[in-house]
Structure 1
């Protein structure tokens, strides 16, 4: 695994409103939960030069009232994905891509090691379905 593989670049973040709507409209998207993280994912067609997987991370204000807690949880989820994204990237072929949305469900933050275990669990379960 190269050093570049362990980064999380801006291109790997979902910024397209159209893609976000496709992801959450139901339709072809699927979801699974490893409490306290819910994963909504959608298989997409990949264009040449595009990244294989794009992510979105959300911690609703309804669950975590303090911005400090929301930012910490989002940082933990991004870091866990960054370190373990190889679990899903090695299963994708050259023409298929993936859009992933990680959503925090609990009303309090967890330890980073617990968050990472939950993210690994979700990524392994998604990679089995590919």
Structure 2
């Protein structure tokens, strides 16, 4: 099992991101918010993710980049647990909404909580 977050797993398309914000559903576990949109597995075989930190809360780019790096790392290490046995694919955006610099342990625990909420909100047929 590889713990990578490759280029094909990153959500980069402006069109797909716009569609995600328009049609997507959300789950929250402060300070994280997850916006997700189920996709057709034939059209999009990979689960694609993006990470965002608002400039309004963190003025310095180094702070925003550090938080995104922590989010990516936590997701990368636990993605197999979250989507194990999944028969659907998703476009997902993680947004950090807090205004204090987190550490890795906080980010990891909140990400796990968020995924538990996400799994519980889905119909049983999707997992």
TM over 0.5: yes
The separation in 2 between residues aligned to 1:8 and 1:73, in whole angstroms, is 16
**1:61-92: CA deviation from partner (whole Å, max 9, x where unpaired):** 11111111101100011111111111332142
Counterpart for residue 15 of structure 1: 12
Distance 1:49 1:36, change over 3 A: closer
Counterpart for residue 28 of structure 2: 33
- Count of residues in Structure 1 that have an aligned counterpart in Structure 2: 122
Unaligned runs of 5+ in 2: none
The separation in 1 between residues aligned to 2:92 and 2:48, in whole angstroms, is 6
Q: Which runs of 4+ in 1 moved over 6 A?
A: none
**1:45-64: CA deviation from partner (whole Å, max 9, x where unpaired):** 1227832x110100111111
- Secondary structure of the 1:109 match is coil
Q: What TM-score does the superposition give when structure 1 sets the normalisation length?
A: 0.86
For the aligned residues, what is the CA RMSD? 1.5
State the shift of 1:124 in Å: 2.1
Counterpart for residue 51 of structure 2: 57
Unaligned runs of 5+ in 1: none
Return the match for 1:42 from 25, 31, 37.
37
Q: What TM-score does the superposition give when structure 2 sets the normalisation length?
A: 0.88
